[in-house]
Chain A
Amino acid sequence: KAGVTQTPRYLIKTRGQQVTLSCSPISGHRSVSWYQQTPGQGLQFLFEYFSETQRNKGNFPGRFSGRQFSNSRSEMNVSTLELGDSALYLCASSFRDSVSTDTQYFGPGTRLTVL
């Protein structure tokens, strides 16, 4: 079974621009979560989507948004980029057929650099 894929793997943007990152979950997985990883803050939860609905949200400004499509693929958008948005953005998928806990499987990440 193919793993979680993320595109692109690397991005360079300038302040004020916007960016869209894409995540394709493992086949059959319906939950997709996004995380931001930085050396200073570690791994921080952005949001989770399940069946095209945002189920959980972390403590990030409204510039960070996402969506999920009917095939469970997900996109994350960051508008008005700031230097502090430079990070590794990780996507994780899980099967999650109920509200019980489930193992998350991570993609390789998208490295975003904001200049």
Chain B
Amino acid sequence: GNSVTQMEGPVTLSEEAFLTINCTYTATGYPSLFWYVQYPGEGLQLLLKATKADDKGSNKGFEATYRKETTSFHLEKGSVQVSDSAVYFCALSSNTGNQFYFGTGTSLTVIP
């Protein structure tokens, strides 16, 4: 079946620190992989995506590379800001349907 395992939180970092949030997946077929971000009181916003192996998604300084050999899609940012404080969700969508499978979310707090 399809599933996503995401790094447990919460994560607290100082401003300008390096961020890694681990995400691994199990999927049938060839899934697309996504990172979504949820700010307090809001819905989910697409952060980045990758649709095939070795693709790198990037947006707003965040990056993630689709690694088929390790079934991973880790999120990274070189220098976090206070405004990056949010909950981050890793997700996959199987090419056999439009159903998304989400990880449990990782809460990030960045302190000045």
Contacts and interface: CB of A to CB of B under 8 A. Distances in A.
Contacts of A92: 44, 100
Contacts of A6: 43
Contacts, number: 63
B37 to A, nearest CB: 11
Given A107-B43, A108-B43, A109-B43, A33 B102 contact: no
A104 B100 contact: yes
Interface residues of B, number: 25
B31 A108 contact: no
A105 B99 CA distance: 13
Interface string B76-112: 0000000000000100011111111111110000000
Nearest to B33: A101
Interface stretch (B8-16, B45-53, B67-75): B45-53
Contacts of A102: 93, 98
Interface of B: 31-32, 34, 36, 42-46, 49, 51, 89, 93-105
29 contacts: A6-B43, A31-B98, A33-B100, A35-B102, A42-B103, A42-B105, A45-B100, A45-B101, A48-B98, A48-B99, A55-B97, A56-B99, A58-B99, A92-B100, A94-B98, A99-B95, A99-B97, A100-B95, A101-B31, A101-B32, A101-B93, A101-B94, A101-B95, A102-B93, A104-B46, A104-B100, A106-B36, A109-B42, A109-B43
